[in-house]
């Protein structure tokens, strides 16, 4: 019997509304849980506050996105290992089994040098939690390309025990999503569902509004033996109202559930 893949709402999808709004909308729309994006919102950093939201809205936290963005480099600590360990502590407290982490920035030389071995140590320290390294993308300008990550934006070229496959990032890097999923193989632990048109930026469109094979990837997960969750990570910052934001998130959930239920022929 095929496993029902949980569909989560990333709290980043409700920005600029706060973390608590992500729980509220996840419960209202019928998501299976949330992915907490740890950022400057104090609630996103506080296990007690998050546990209170879980209890109030009845939706579990199934994954935690560590504070890896450029704008979250001072959340908890300027030390990236402290931030990653605290994200793991948060996940363990909330009984989430995935911590999403980005490859190091190129300027984080010491962190980059010990990244692989450090993740292995954290895996031993936090058994039951998968540290899923996310595919990123280069920055493109007129006639040039800049890679802000070390050793690069594609974690499969280094090799890790667990990966997060982000479809919007695949669009920005002009990467074949299905081929990357094939390369990740059994180490594909988590999916960030969003769309893109291939522009040189991270668009995080509602799935189906871009050019990525979102439906094909979702339909292939069962045959891949995927045991993780799909987290909707879309941008709703330009939504003109709460109802418009909710409509985008409801559409994303319907898309995910529809195509997860359709096996590849």
Q: What is the largest CA-CA distance in the chain?
A: 52
Looking at residues 118-131, what average pLDDT do you find?
97
Sole residue written with tokens 């893109």: 196
pLDDT for 184-214, tens place per residue? 999 999 999 999 998 877 899 999 999 999 9
The distance of Cα 113 from the centroid of its chain, to the nearest Å, equals 24
For residues 2-37, b (16+ Cβ closer than 10 Å) or e, as one string?
eeebbbbbbbbbbbebbbbbbbbbbbebebbbbbbb
The pLDDT of residue 1 is 38
Q: What's the burial of 240, exposed, middle or buried (CB within 10 Å: 0-12/13-18/19+)?
A: exposed
* Reported confidence tier of residue 182, pLDDT bands at 50, 70, 90: very high
Q: 117: Cβ–Cβ under 8 A, 6 or more apart, which residues? A: none
Closest CA to 36 of 87, 82, 83: 87
The pLDDT of residue 263 is 65
% of the chain surpassing 90 pLDDT: 89
pLDDT for 22-61, tens place per residue? 999 999 999 999 999 999 999 999 999 999 999 999 999 9
The pLDDT of residue 206 is 97
The pLDDT of residue 262 is 72
Residues listed for the chain: 265
Other CB atoms within 10 A of residue 144 CB: 8
Q: State the chain's mean pLDDT as an integer.
A: 94
Looking at residues 169-189, what average pLDDT do you find?
97
The pLDDT of residue 199 is 83
Looking at residues 153-166, what average pLDDT do you find?
97
The pLDDT of residue 142 is 64
Asked whether the whole model's pTM tops 0.75, one would answer yes
Looking at residues 118-145, what average pLDDT do you find?
91
């Amino acid at each position: 019997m095929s496993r029902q893949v949980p569909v989560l709402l990333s709290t980043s999808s409700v920005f600029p509304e706060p973390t608590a709004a992500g729980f509220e909308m996840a419960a209202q729309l019928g998501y299976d849980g949330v992915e907490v994006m740890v950022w400057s919102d104090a609630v996103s950093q506080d296990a007690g506050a998050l546990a209170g939201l879980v209890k109030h809205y009845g939706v579990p936290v199934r994954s935690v996105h560590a504070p890896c963005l450029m704008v979250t480099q001072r959340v908890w600590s300027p030390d990236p290992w402290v931030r990653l360990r605290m994200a793991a502590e948060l996940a363990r407290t909330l009984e989430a089994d995935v911590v999403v982490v980005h490859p190091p920035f190129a300027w984080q030389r010491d962190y980059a040098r010990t990244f692989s071995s450090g993740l292995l140590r954290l895996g031993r320290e936090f058994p039951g939690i998968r540290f899923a390294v996310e595919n990123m993308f280069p920055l493109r300008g007129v006639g040039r390309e800049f890679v802000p990550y070390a050793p690069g934006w594609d974690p499969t070229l280094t090799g890790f025990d667990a990966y997060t496959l982000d479809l919007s990032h695949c669009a920005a890097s002009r990467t074949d999503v299905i081929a990357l999923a094939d390369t990740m193989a059994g180490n594909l632990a988590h999916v960030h569902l969003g769309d893109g048109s291939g522009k040189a930026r991270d668009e995080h469109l509602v799935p189906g509004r871009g050019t990525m094979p979102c439906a094909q990837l979702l339909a292939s997960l069962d045959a891949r033996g995927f045991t993780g969750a799909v987290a909707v990570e879309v941008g709703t910052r330009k939504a003109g109202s709460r109802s418009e934001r909710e409509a985008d998130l409801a559409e994303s959930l319907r898309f995910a559930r529809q195509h997860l239920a359709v096996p590849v022929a």
